[in-house]
Structures are given as structure tokens and as C-alpha cells.
């Protein structure tokens, strides 16, 4: 096996070196195998509409579109909770807030509002809610911060019922699909292929942006806050400011993700957007993939969604959830750093050994 | 959920009967069921999978209003005939078929009657209670949820119009667990009966409290969990004397000549599993299969992608004697387009029967009078 | 009256936190286990062969919930408790798994438990009605709380629990066997949850989602009373009881839960140590 990867590792490493020269400073250095994993996954994702029907799995288009949205949300959670160590258990409120903003605009203002209006306002709403939660609660630490954010989630969930005149209570609000034209070409999310790309492309763009942020000085400070907040303060850095920044950075992808999810389902309701379970799923994805790595949560989101929607279906409607939560529990106990981080480091070790041989 | 299992079993029974009889348009019929888990997102996935990969020809079901609401946009887009057999919210049809007929013309409700009409049926029932026991003062308690809005908006006025009094009104947050304040409010308002509309709230704790305290009012209305034939055991008999309206009247009465044979066939096939009776969605789903069969056979095609207009026209022509009653649809230009029509006997709505849990844990149909299987009982402590 | 039962739940929750620093989000699930154990052994409708008297059912419920709590600690929490966030998440996942398992085993339809003591008391002149089960719930809860009080203040074993919750390090220095103390605390908390489960399950409902509301309530009570404080939990349980009644009166039933949660957030932010608790905010 080592000779195989060795043979393969050579050319891969030289391509990777080309990448490292250009972008390594910004996004971090890769070895050949890690580079191959990234490019390979990217190709697989971009070409789903080609290979899925050939394998008789065209339903994957829907599953993976959903996974893309959740990947956005999981990354959004990660840049705040994963990086700073302030673990939020109420992040679904941010995406849910954005989704409800879209719903309220479409349902109560004008059903024909274009996305040029609803998208920015929804992101703004996520941002506002993020700040409302962040500013007071960031004084608290560890599980207490988690507790307050958890409670924030419960409050928003109940408010959708208390204000059911506007939110439609448990029925929610219909928001319809995304429908817009680019250069005379109509894009509608009723078409499974177009919908897939409408969800995938923002996910990839957000991933690149967040990776950039995470490797920048700001990202370094977030990590430093997680490792030793007192030391960071002692160095004369205003940690509160950076913690709030992390919420701001997190709110934007959460807002975009919430907006996409609203149009993916076509209806915004408490169950699919605000229930505590949604926040927990979000965290589970990030933790399963590997917290504070941006790429890990993407992997986690795809893994969890594919398991939930495709693989575990054999256990029946309820059994599926039992299996999913049990698997997540096992990862929590035995592989706390995340499965994709383990894979990444494994490839890292393998790749560098090969590099040495060459 | 019991409701879903009952609907699935009943539809399967209908499909088996149709196949024994030569199928639809000489084709064998296959039933594909998906559990939406009452989750709108889940139901979207299931619907898309069934339409795009399983190539289904008709969609039947959806109990929870939010699930129905969640899939109508998609269903409207792909034109597949959709017969709603569970959720009763009128806006499901008025906001879709009523607003944009061309887009949503493939959506129908074959039962139950929508909740605006159910509110009228409930008023008829209240008049019946006034006749029977001299109960004239009613308390109106509903889940604080969208599905009860038609009741809260229409029923109190309707009762006042008929010379009955509404002495107390309240809405309960979903998942309320402490019912004592509400019960004591109803009691101090001196209500003779409480009309309660519960789907999200489960009245088991309330029933125990009501019986132990021997509150002097009846508990009537709609109680979705109480429709399960297993509710007697689940509530350890606390269900005694509570009533609920449900399509098919749990098979306790001969609504049409179809009701009892279907119920018996169901019991024979599925009587040992949960639920041991079809439940209201089972009756409606059983009927829906035949409504669809008859319409496409008249249309001569089941190919909705090519001929949805013909199929819709024939569905509108429906006049079917089902297990729940006579099924006809409101026309496109009426107040409730594509909704199942209410039927009337002696000026009371008859496809809105009420059942009561009576001694030994039996469902009895107590309303309407012309096919009731037993008298309505007031609690023995009153 | 039911506030006493709430206090029972909150005390278990707060003891676990006090001794181990663990927020046990599976605490609500233990209540559910208690209620369903009672159901299985007392009602003929689940296992036909078993329909024991309700008194025995109560003991079984306590025993099963206590055992489940113990197993949860030894089998899971003990291995991850050094990381509070992972513990928070893992216990929550356990609660979700149990909830789905109960759906599979008993269907999602709610059940009623056989009443321990049927009947009611009607005080005519005050227009007050109280069911016997509420009275018994009240009395039994107070007896349980009283026994616990005696245990932690008058016996050596119990005192070591109290000492640990005051200072883990201090207790260790005086030779307290920490793992044993923690396991014992989980056992007691589980027993309290099981007992509460029978009353909650009778007075409210027994269903696979019954774990969340008592858990949220335990949160609120514990935080307001001060995390780790038994006395605080009792006072806060009554405070929240009155507050809820007041909210329903003034704002309507829809705001009942929300208002308590808001009070919780305010208390957390203004007075993070609660009424009787220790300071645990870090600036």
C-alpha cells in the first residue's frame, strides 16, 4: 500500500506544491493526498447530476442539496462556537430568524418580493438576533453560556406559537421557491438539478471565505480565546470585541443558510427551523466532522444528512433516529475530535512519509 | 402514530379490494406508504421521492395541517392528483385552489369536511346536547394552534345565534401539562359542557383531574388522541364519557352500507395490531382510493402529466357512497373549491358524527340521531 | 401543590451539578423512565401478566430510574465529565435516543397512569378542589426532601456529599472517595426523578416527549435558586409555581412557559449566582 500511495503521492505532491506556492499562505499548506481529497470531493460534488442518475440514485440530488444547506449552517456554527469555544446551543435561532424574516416578508408584506430584498433583510435579521443573544450572554462561560443559548432557542420556539397571527403557529408560512433569471436564463428550484447548484455554490463560496477568515489573524485570536482567554486579555486584546465579531461572522452564513432552507422546504414552520433538535443536529454535524476546522463540519453535515436520509432508512422512520443519535453519541465519546479531522491527520501522516521517500 | 398506521392499513385494504376486482384501468395497483413523522420537511422529501422515483399516480393522505401546507406548492407544480384525507384546515384549499386555480387544480379533499363546516356541525351537536340534557351553557377551549382558528372564529357566534350561551373561552398553549386552572375556570363559569379542540394537547391529565374532582360538566368536542381505539387502555379508562367527532364514527354506526363491512374487514385483517380500528383517516383514505379509481376510469387515463384536466374534471363529477358518507366535491367557483361537501339530514350536518367512550371501553356513535348507536350519556356524577 | 414535585426534580438536577459539575440533560429522561416503569408493572394493558398494586409500582419506578441514573453515570458520564460541553451534548443525545426508543416501544400516544389514590377533596367554602393524588404527591415529595435533608446533614455518608458540593478539592483532602460520592449522588437524583415521574405521569401525561418540559423547569428552578443549592431549589420551585399562575392570569396561557424562560435569562444575567448559590460567572 505504501508503494502505491508513494507512486501516487509523487505527482500529487507536485500539484499540491503548485497550490501551496500560490495559496498556501492564505488557506494553509496541504500535502498531495490532502489536496487529492479536496479536489476529489469537489469534483464528486460538482458532478452529482452526472453520476447520480447513472447509479440510479437521482434522489441523492435532493439529499445533497439539503446537506449543502446544513453544511453552511454547520460552518456558521463552527466559526463562532468551534473556534472561540463558546458553545452555542441555540444557533438554530439565527437561521430560523432569517427564515422567519423571509416568511413574514413574503406572507405579510408582498408575496412577490424579490430575493434582492428578502435575502439581505434575512441576513440582517440573523445578525440582529445574533447580537441580541451574544452581547449579554457572552459574559458567561462554558456550560452557562450554552445554557443561556439553549434557553434562547426554547423562547424563540414558543414565541412562534404566541404570535401565531403572524407566524401561522404550527402551520408556518409558505414562502415558495427561488425563481430568478440570470442573463435571460431562468433558474427555478423546482428543477432538482438547478436546485442542487443553487444550494451547492453558496456553500462552496462560504467555505472558501470562512477558511480564509479562520486562517487570518481574526481566526487566530478566536482560537487563542478558546485556549486561554485570560492570556489574550493580558496581551491587551479586547476579547469581548472579538467574541462579538465571531457572532457577526457566524450570523451571515446562518442567515444565508436559513434563507436557503426556507426556500428549499417552501414552508417556514417551528418544527423544521426552531425546534431544539435542530440546534443539536447542527452541533452534532460539526462535532462529528471535527470542530474548529470549517472543512470538518462540511464533511459532518454531508455524513449526517446522507445517513439520515438514505442509509439509515432501513431501520424505519423512528429507528433511523435512534441509530443516528446512537452513532453521534459514539463519536462524542470515542472520537471527540471528529471523524474528518482523524482522516485528515491520517492523510497528513501518510502523505508526508511518502514525500520523504521521494 | 396510530392515525397514520390506520390510514395506511385502510388504504392497503382498499387497494387489495381494487386489485381483486381487476385493478384500475386493468392495471394492478400498488400502495407505497411513507411516514412523514408529522414533520413537514420529512414529508417534502417523501413526496418528492414518491413522485420522482416511485412514479406514483396519485397522492393520498396527510393528517397534520403543517404537513399538507408544506407540500402543496410542490404538488401544485408537478400536477399529481392529491386527495387530502386527514387535515381539515379550510385554508389548505382556499389559499391554493381558491387563489390560483390553474396552479393548484389537482388538489382535493375527500374528507373530512373542513373545519369551517365542522364548526357548524359542532353547533348542531351543541343544540342536540341542549335537547338531550338541557345543557345551554358552553365553555370553548382550543389548542392555541392554527387548526383551531376556524372553530374559535365561528363556533361561539354560531352558538349564540342558536340561543345557546358561551360562558367561557380560552386557548391553551400546545403542550400544556397543568390543566387544573383551566378546569376550575370552566367550573366557576358554571358551564354545562366544555367544547374542547385538542390535537397538540393531550387531555389525559385533564380527564383524570376531571373525573377525580367530579366536575359537573361534560367534555365534548374534538380530541384527536381520543380517537385512537387504544385510548381507553392508554388512559386507563379515564376516557369514559368524553366525546369526539370523527369521520366514520369508529365504525360504531351504519352511516352508509359501506361503513360496517369495511370496519369488519379492517378488524379481521389488522385487529391485532395498533390501531385496532381504522380511525377517521382510515375511513377517509379507504374512500379516497375508490374516489380516485372511479374518476380515472371515467377519464380513461391515469396519466396526470398528459391529462390532468380530464382527471380533475372527472374528480369533480364524483358522487360516491363511501364508508364515511356520500362524497361530492364543491366546484371550482364555490366558497370551498375542491373540498368535500357536507351532507345533511333533518337540517343537521350528518357527515360529522360524534362518538363517546362508554362503559367497558366501547366507542358508541351518539350523534347524529338518525344513525346513532347509543344515547349520549352525561357523566354519572352529574 | 405540584411545586413540591417540581422541587424534587430540581433537587436531583442541582445535586448532580453541585457534586460533579455536570449539567445532566438526561434528567428529564429519567423522569420518563420512572413513569413508564410504573406503567409497565401496574397496567394490564402493556404486559398482560404484570398488574401489580400501585404501591409496588411506585417502588419499582424509583428503583428503575435510580438504576438507570447510576448506569448513565458509570457507563457514560464518568468517562466524559471532564469536558462539560461534550457532557452537555452527550446527555442531551441520550435523552433524544430514549425518547425515540419509547416511541418505538409504546407508540407516541400518551398514556395515563393508574391513580395511586383516586378521589378528591372539595372545600366548599373556598371553592377549592384538590385531588388526593395531588395531596399525596405533595406529602411524599416533602417526606423525600426531608429524608434527604436528614441524610446530608446528619449522616457521615450524606455529609460527604454536601462537602463535595461545597469544595471538591477540600473534600478530597479530607479523604472522601470522590467517584463513590458521585455515583451515589446520581443514584439519589435518579430515585427522586423516578418518584417525580410517577406523579408527573399521573397528573400530566406519560408520553415520549414528557422529558423536555420538566427538564426546562428544572433548569429554571435551579438557576433561579442558585446552582448546587438544595434550599434554593425548593424556594425557586414555589416561586416559579406562583409566577406561572400569575402569567396565565395576566398575559394568557400562551406566554406561560416563555415568561418563566425570560425570568431565567434575566436572573442569569443580573444575578448569576441565583438566590442561594455560589458565584459562577467569570468576567
Mutation site, B35, B40, B177, B198, interface A, largest A CB count within 10 A: B40
C281 with A284: Cβ contact below 8 A: no
| CB proximity A158 to B under 8 Å | yes
Query: Which residues in chain B are closer than 8 Å to A66, comparing Cβ atoms?
Result: 45
pLDDT above 60 for A358: no
A144-202 pLDDT per residue, tens: 788 888 888 888 888 887 787 788 877 888 888 887 877 778 888 778 899 999 999 99
Question: Per residue in A286-305, pLDDT tens?
Answer: 999 998 889 999 999 999 99
3-class DSSP state of C209: coil
CB-based contact, C180 to chain A, within 8 Å: no
Q: Do A164 and B49 touch (CB under 8 A)?
A: no
Q: In 10 A of CB C153, how many CB atoms?
A: 10
Q: What pLDDT does C46 receive?
A: 67
Average of pLDDT values for B242-259? 94
Q: What is the pLDDT at residue B124?
A: 95
pLDDT at A6 over 70: no
> Is A209 an interface residue toward B (CB < 8 Å)?
no
Beta carbons of C205 and B209 less than 8 Å apart:
no
Q: Are residues B248 and B128 in the same domain?
A: yes
Give the chain A residue whose CA is nearest to the CA of C86: A332
| CA of C78 vs chain B CAs: smallest distance (Å) | 33
Whether A42 has a pLDDT exceeding 60, the answer reads: yes
Segment (H or E) for A267? strand A267-268
Q: Is B274 inside any structural domain? A: yes
Q: What's the residue count for chain B?
A: 382
Binned at pLDDT 50, 70 and 90, residue A103 comes out as very high
Q: Which of A58, A63, A162 sits opposite B52 (nearest CB)?
A: A58
Candidates A171, A176, A177; nearest CB to B146: A171
Q: How many CB pairs under 8 A join B and C?
A: 93
Q: Evaluate the omega torsion of the peptide bond into residue A48 and state whether it is cis, within 30 degrees of 0.
A: no
pLDDT digits (tens, 9 = 90+) for B103-124: 999 999 998 999 999 999 999 9
- Rounded to a whole number, what is the distance in Å from the CA of B311 to chain A's nearest CA? 23
State how far residue B281 is from chain C, nearest Cα, in angstroms: 16
Of A39-43, A200-204, A215-219, C246-250, the range with the lowest mean pLDDT is C246-250
Quick: pLDDT tens for C168-201: 777 777 777 888 889 999 999 999 999 999 999 8
A142-162 and C212-225 helices, crossing angle to 10°: 120
Torsions phi, psi of B223, nearest 5? -135, 100
pLDDT at B287: 96
- For residue C108, which residues of chain B lie inside 8 Å, CB to CB? 1
Give domain limits for chain C: 3-210
Please tell me whether residues B351 and B218 are part of one structural domain: yes
Subunits with 3+ C-beta pairs closer than 8 A to A: B, C
The region of weakest confidence among A26-40, A99-113, B107-121, B256-270 is: A26-40
| Residue B324 belongs to a domain | yes
Measure B263 CA to nearest chain A CA, in Å.
27
Give residue for cell 386489485.
B19
CB contacts of B207 in chain C (<8 Å) are 112
Which chain B residues are Cβ-neighbours of A190 within 8 angstroms? 74, 77
> Which chains border C (3 or more CB–CB pairs < 8 Å)?
A, B
Closest-CA distance of chain B to residue C215, Å: 13
Chain B residue closest in CA terms to C114: B236
Answer whether B73 sits within 8 Å of A176, measured CB to CB.
yes
Domain count, chain B: 2
Q: What is the pLDDT of residue B223?
A: 94
* Annotation: CATH topology of A62-309: ABC transporter involved in vitamin B12 uptake, BtuC (1.10.3470)
Residues in A touching C265 (Cβ below 8 Å): 136, 148, 151-152, 155
CATH number (domain holding residue B80): 3.40.50.2300
Please tell me the distance from the alpha carbon of residue C96 to that of residue C90, in angstroms, as a whole number: 10
pLDDT grade for A356, boundaries at 50, 70 and 90: very low
> Which of B73, B95, B200 lies closest to A266 in CB terms?
B73
- State pLDDT tens for residues A229-276: 889 999 988 998 999 999 999 999 999 999 999 999 888 988 888 888
On whether both B31 and B93 belong to a single domain, the answer is yes
H helix or E strand, kind and range, residue A289: helix A276-289
CB count in 10 Å sphere of residue A124 = 16
In contact, B88 and B111? CB cutoff 8 Å: no
Which residue range is the domain that position B51 belongs to?
A: 2-114+256-343
For residues A121-134, average pLDDT: 94
Mean pLDDT estimate for chain B: 92
Confidence of residue A9 (pLDDT cuts 50, 70, 90): low
From CA C73, how far away is CA B180, in angstroms rounded?
Answer: 36
- Nearest CA among B51, B106, B98 for reference residue B76: B106
Specify if B376 maps to a domain.
no
CA of A112, closest CA in chain C: separation in Å?
A: 32
> Does residue B81 belong to any structural domain of this protein?
yes
Within-domain flag for B378: no
Query: Does residue A210 carry a pLDDT above 80?
Result: yes
Q: What are phi and psi of B71, to 5 degrees?
A: -105, -5
pLDDT of residue B132: 95
Residue C48 has what pLDDT?
A: 62
Chain B residue with the nearest C-alpha to that of C44: B233
Which of C129, C206, C209 is closest, CB to CB, to B213?
A: C129
Cell of A77: 456554527
Interface test with B, best of A112, A196, A266 (most B CBs within 10 A): A266
**Is the CB of residue A317 less than 8 Å away from at least one CB of chain B?**
yes
Q: What residue in C sits closest to B179 (Cα-Cα)?
A: C204
Which residues from chain B sit within 8 angstroms of residue A272, using beta carbons?
Answer: 39-41
What was the pLDDT predicted at A174? Answer: 84
Residues B15 and B58 occupy one common structural domain: yes
What is residue A46's predicted lDDT score, i.e. its pLDDT? 93
Q: Which residues of chain C have pLDDT under 70?
A: 1, 45-49, 124-127, 252-257, 272, 275-283
pTM: 0.86
Put simply, whether A192 touches B (Cβ < 8 Å) is yes
| C98 interfaces chain A, CB cutoff of 8 Å | no
Instruction: From chain C, pick out residues whose CB is under 8 angstroms from the CB of A151.
Output: 216, 219, 261, 264-265
Inform me whether the C-beta atom of residue A168 falls under 8 Å from chain B C-beta atoms.
yes
**Cβ <8 Å between C262 and A142:** no
- Between the two ends of chain A, the Cα-to-Cα distance in Å is 15
pLDDT at C178: 84
- State the residue for C-alpha cell 434575566: C266
Residues of C in contact with B185 (CB under 8 A): none
In a domain, B73, yes or no: yes
Asked if A276 and C223 come within 8 Å (Cβ–Cβ), the reply is no
Tell whether B92 is covered by a domain: yes
**Band of the pLDDT at A73, cuts 50, 70, 90?**
very high
A247 within 8 A of A197, measured Cβ to Cβ? no
- Verify whether the Cβ–Cβ distance B178 to C203 is below 8 Å: yes
The interface predicted TM-score of the complex, written ipTM, equals 0.84
Residues of B with CB below 8 A from A62's CB? Answer: 45, 48-49
The percent of residues above 90 in pLDDT, for chain A, comes to: 42
CA separation for the pair B112, A123 (Å, rounded): 41
**Is B168 a residue whose pLDDT tops 80?**
yes
Q: Does A6 touch chain B (CB under 8 A)?
A: no
Nearest CB to A171 within list B37, B66, B174: B66
User: What HEC string does chain B produce?
Assistant: CHHHHHHHHHHHHHHHHHHHCCCECCECCCCCCCCCCCCHHHHHHHHHHHHHCCCCCCEEECCCHHHHHHHHHHHHHHCCCEEECCCCCCHHHHCCCCCCHHHHCCEEECCCCCHHHHHHHHHHHHHHHHHHHCCCEEEEEEECCHHHHHHHHHHHHHHHHCCCEEEEEEEECCCCCCCHHHHHHHHHCCCCEEEEEECCCCCHHHHHHHHHHCCCCEEEEEECHHHCCCHHHHCCCCCCCCEEECHHHHHCCCCCCCHHHHHHHHHHHHCCCCCCCCHHHHHHHHHHHHHHHHHHHHHCCCCHHHHHHHHHHHHHCCCEECCCCEECECCCCCCCCCEECCCEECCEECCCCEEEEEHHHEEEEEECHHHCCCCCCCCCCC
- For residue range B188-216, what is the model confidence (pLDDT) as tens digits? 999 999 999 998 777 788 898 898 889 99
Nearest chain B residue to C246, by CA: B181
**Strand, helix or coil for residue C180:** helix
pLDDT at A10: 64
**How far does the CA of residue C48 sit from the closest CA of chain A (Å)?**
25
Residue B95 lies in a domain: yes
- Is the Cβ of A70 closer than 8 Å to some Cβ of chain B? no
Averaged pLDDT, A17-31: 76
Are A272 and B144 an interchain contact pair (Cβ–Cβ within 8 Å)?
no
CA distances A211 to A149, A246, A298, Å, are 25, 14, 12
B227 and B361, same domain (yes or no): yes
Nearest-Cα distance to chain A for B284, in Å, is: 22
At residue A3, the pLDDT reads: 44
Contacts of C129 in chain B (CB under 8 A): 184, 187, 213, 215
Residue of chain A with shortest Cα separation from B95: A174
Amino acid at each position: 500500500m505504501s508503494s502505491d500511495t508513494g507512486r501516487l503521492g509523487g505527482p500529487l505532491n507536485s500539484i499540491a506544491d503548485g497550490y501551496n506556492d500560490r495559496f498556501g499562505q492564505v488557506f494553509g499548506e496541504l500535502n498531495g493526498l490532502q489536496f487529492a481529497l479536496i479536489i476529489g470531493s469537489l469534483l464528486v460534488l460538482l458532478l452529482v447530476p452526472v453520476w447520480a442518475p447513472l447509479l440510479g440514485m437521482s434522489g441523492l440530488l435532493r439529499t445533497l442539496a439539503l446537506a449543502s444547506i446544513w453544511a453552511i449552517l454547520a460552518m456558521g456554527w463552527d466559526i463562532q462556537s468551534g473556534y472561540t469555544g463558546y458553545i452555542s446551543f441555540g444557533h438554530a435561532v439565527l437561521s430560523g430568524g432569517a427564515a422567519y424574516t423571509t416568511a413574514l416578508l413574503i406572507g405579510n408584506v408582498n408575496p412577490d418580493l424579490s430575493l434582492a430584498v428578502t435575502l439581505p433583510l434575512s441576513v440582517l435579521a440573523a445578525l440582529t438576533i445574533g447580537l441580541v443573544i451574544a452581547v449579554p450572554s457572552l459574559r458567561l462561560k462554558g456550560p452557562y453560556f450554552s445554557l443561556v443559548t439553549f434557553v434562547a432557542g426554547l423562547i424563540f420556539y414558543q414565541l412562534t406559537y404566541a404570535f401565531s397571527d403572524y407566524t401561522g403557529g404550527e402551520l408556518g408560512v409558505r414562502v415558495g421557491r427561488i425563481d430568478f433569471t440570470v442573463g435571460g436564463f431562468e433558474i427555478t428550484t423546482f428543477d432538482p438539478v438547478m436546485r442542487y447548484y443553487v444550494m451547492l455554490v453558496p456553500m462552496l463560496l462560504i467555505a472558501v471565505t470562512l477558511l480564509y477568515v479562520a486562517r487570518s489573524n481574526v481566526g487566530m485570536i478566536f482560537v487563542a480565546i478558546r485556549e486561554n482567554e485570560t492570556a489574550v486579555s493580558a496581551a491587551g486584546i479586547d476579547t469581548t470585541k472579538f467574541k462579538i465579531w465571531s457572532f457577526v461572522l457566524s450570523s451571515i452564513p446562518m442567515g444565508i443558510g436559513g434563507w436557503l432552507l426556507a426556500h428549499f422546504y417552501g414552508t417556514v414552520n417551528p418544527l423544521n427551523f426552531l425546534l431544539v433538535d435542530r440546534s443539536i443536529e447542527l452541533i452534532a454535524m460539526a462535532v462529528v466532522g471535527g470542530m474548529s476546522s470549517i472543512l470538518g463540519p462540511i464533511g459532518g453535515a454531508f455524513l449526517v444528512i446522507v445517513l439520515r436520509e438514505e442509509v439509515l432508512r432501513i431501520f424505519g422512520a423512528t429507528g433511523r433516529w435512534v441509530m443516528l443519535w446512537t452513532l453521534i453519541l459514539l463519536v462524542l465519546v470515542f472520537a471527540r475530535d471528529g471523524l474528518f479531522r482523524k482522516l485528515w491527520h491520517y492523510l497528513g501522516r501518510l502523505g508526508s512519509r511518502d514525500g520523504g521517500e521521494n | 402514530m396510530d392515525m397514520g398506521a390506520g390510514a395506511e392499513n385502510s388504504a392497503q385494504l382498499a387497494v387489495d379490494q381494487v386489485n381483486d376486482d381487476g385493478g384500475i384501468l386493468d392495471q394492478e395497483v400498488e400502495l407505497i406508504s411513507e411516514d412523514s413523522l408529522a414533520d413537514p420537511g420529512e414529508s417534502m422529501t417523501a413526496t418528492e421521492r414518491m413522485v420522482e422515483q416511485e412514479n406514483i399516480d396519485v397522492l393520498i393522505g396527510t393528517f397534520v395541517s403543517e404537513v399538507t401546507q408544506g407540500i402543496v406548492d410542490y404538488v401544485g407544480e408537478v400536477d399529481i392528483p392529491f386527495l387530502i384525507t386527514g387535515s381539515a384546515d379550510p385554508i389548505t384549499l382556499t389559499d391554493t385552489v381558491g387563489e390560483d386555480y390553474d396552479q393548484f387544480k389537482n388538489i382535493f379533499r375527500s374528507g373530512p369536511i373542513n373545519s369551517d363546516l365542522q364548526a357548524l356541525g359542532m353547533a348542531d351537536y351543541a343544540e342536540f346536547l341542549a335537547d338531550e340534557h338541557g345543557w345551554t351553557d358552553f365553555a370553548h377551549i382550543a389548542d392555541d394552534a392554527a387548526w383551531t382558528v376556524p372553530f374559535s372564529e365561528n363556533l361561539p357566534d354560531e352558538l349564540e345565534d342558536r340561543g345557546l350561551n358561551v360562558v367561557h373561552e380560552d386557548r391553551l398553549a400546545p403542550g400544556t401539562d397543568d390543566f387544573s386552572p383551566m378546569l376550575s375556570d370552566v367550573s366557576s363559569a358554571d358551564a354545562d359542557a366544555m367544547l374542547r379542540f385538542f390535537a397538540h394537547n393531550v387531555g389525559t391529565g385533564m380527564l383524570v383531574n376531571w373525573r377525580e374532582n367530579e366536575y359537573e360538566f361534560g367534555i365534548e368536542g374534538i380530541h384527536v388522541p381520543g380517537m385512537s381505539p387504544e385510548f381507553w387502555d392508554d388512559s386507563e379508562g379515564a376516557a369514559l364519557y368524553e366525546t369526539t367527532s370523527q369521520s366514520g364514527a369508529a365504525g360504531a354506526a351504519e352511516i352508509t352500507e359501506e361503513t360496517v363491512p369495511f370496519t369488519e374487514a379492517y378488524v379481521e385483517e389488522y385487529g391485532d395490531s395498533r390501531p385496532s380500528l381504522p380511525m377517521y383517516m382510515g375511513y377517509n383514505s379507504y374512500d379516497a382510493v375508490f374516489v380516485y379509481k372511479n374518476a380515472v376510469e371515467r377519464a380513461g387515463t391515469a396519466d396526470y402529466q398528459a391529462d390532468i384536466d380530464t382527471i380533475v374534471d372527472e374528480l369533480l363529477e364524483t358522487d360516491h357512497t363511501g364508508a364515511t358518507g356520500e362524497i361530492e366535491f364543491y366546484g371550482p367557483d364555490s366558497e370551498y373549491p375542491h373540498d368535500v361537501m357536507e351532507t345533511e339530514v333533518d337540517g343537521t350536518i350528518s357527515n360529522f358524527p360524534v362518538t363517546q367512550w362508554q362503559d367497558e371501553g366501547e366507542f358508541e356513535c351518539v350523534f347524529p340521531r338518525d344513525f346513532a348507536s347509543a344515547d349520549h350519556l352525561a357523566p354519572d356524577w352529574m | 401543590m405540584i411545586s413540591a414535585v417540581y422541587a424534587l426534580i430540581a433537587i436531583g438536577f442541582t445535586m448532580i451539578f453541585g457534586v460533579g459539575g455536570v449539567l445532566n440533560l438526561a434528567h428529564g429522561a429519567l423522569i420518563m423512565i420512572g413513569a413508564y416503569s410504573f406503567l409497565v408493572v401496574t397496567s394490564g394493558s402493556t404486559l398482560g401478566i404484570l398488574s401489580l398494586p400501585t404501591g409496588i409500582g411506585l417502588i419499582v419506578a424509583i428503583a428503575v430510574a435510580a438504576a438507570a441514573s447510576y448506569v448513565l453515570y458509570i457507563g457514560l458520564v464518568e468517562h466524559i465529565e471532564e469536558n462539560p460541553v461534550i457532557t452537555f451534548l452527550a446527555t442531551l443525545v441520550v435523552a433524544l435516543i430514549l425518547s425515540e426508543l419509547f416511541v418505538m416501544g409504546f407508540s407516541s400516544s400518551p398514556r395515563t397512569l393508574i391513580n395511586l389514590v383516586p378521589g378528591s377533596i372539595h372545600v366548599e367554602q373556598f371553592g377549592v378542589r384538590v385531588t388526593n393524588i395531588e395531596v399525596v404527591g405533595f406529602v411524599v415529595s416533602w417526606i423525600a426532601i426531608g429524608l434527604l435533608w436528614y441524610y446530608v446533614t446528619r449522616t457521615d455518608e450524606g455529609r460527604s456529599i454536601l462537602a463535595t458540593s461545597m469544595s471538591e478539592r477540600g473534600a478530597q483532602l479530607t479523604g472522601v472517595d470522590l467517584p463513590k460520592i458521585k455515583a451515589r449522588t446520581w443514584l439519589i437524583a435518579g430515585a427522586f426523578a423516578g418518584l417525580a415521574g410517577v406523579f408527573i405521569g399521573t397528573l400530566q401525561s406519560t408520553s415520549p416527549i414528557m422529558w423536555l418540559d420538566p427538564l426546562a423547569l428544572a433548569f429554571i428552578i435551579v438557576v433561579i435558586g442558585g446552582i448546587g443549592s438544595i434550599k434554593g431549589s425548593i424556594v425557586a420551585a414555589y416561586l416559579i409555581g406562583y409566577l406561572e399562575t400569575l402569567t396565565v392570569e395576566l398575559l394568557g396561557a400562551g406566554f406561560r412557559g416563555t415568561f418563566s424562560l425570560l425570568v431565567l435569562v434575566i436572573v442569569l444575567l443580573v444575578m448569576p449566582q441565583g438566590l442561594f448559590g455560589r458565584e459562577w460567572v467569570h468576567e
